[in-house]
């Protein structure tokens, strides 16, 4: 099982961790949300939990809870600028449907 992070996303995570002055990496998860089923949860990991799987690329660690891996298997985390907006984006091969507003997905 794997989760990957692009070089651009890794640079953004490293920048934010340095700005915060603490943290081990990016925590990626899912929660029940929206009309389709799930939404991504993104935070910074300040500690590793026993149930975490840790993926490392470009010098940055991504923490994912073991029970959330089925929803995130194969996902690639990117950081993109679209117009004036910048945000983390997720290319998830498990998605079967998304809602009209783009806030949630089904696997």
Q: How many structural domains are present in the chain?
A: 1
Are 38 and 99 contacting, i.e. CB atoms less than 8 angstroms apart? Answer: no
Domain CATH number, residue 52 = 2.60.300.12
Residue 97: per-residue pLDDT: 55
Show the domain range for 70.
Answer: 4-106
What does pTM read for this prediction?
Answer: 0.85
DSSP 33-45: ETTTEEEEEEEEE
Beta-carbon contacts of residue 104 (< 8 Å; ≥ 6 apart):
33, 34, 35, 36, 37, 38, 39, 98
Tens of pLDDT along 67-83?
Answer: 999 889 999 999 998 88
Are 41 and 34 contacting, i.e. CB atoms less than 8 angstroms apart? Answer: no
């Amino acid at each position: 099982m794997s989760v990957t992070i692009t070089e651009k996303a890794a640079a953004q995570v490293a920048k934010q961790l340095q700005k915060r002055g603490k943290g081990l990496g990016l925590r990626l998860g899912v929660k029940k949300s929206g009309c389709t089923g799930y939404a991504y949860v993104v935070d910074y990991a300040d500690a590793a939990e026993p149930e975490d799987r840790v993926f490392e690329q470009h010098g940055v660690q991504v923490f994912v809870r073991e029970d959330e891996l089925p929803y995130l298997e194969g996902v690639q985390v990117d950081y993109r600028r679209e117009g004036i907006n910048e945000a983390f984006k997720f290319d998830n091969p498990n998605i079967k449907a998304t809602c009209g507003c783009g806030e949630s997905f089904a696997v």
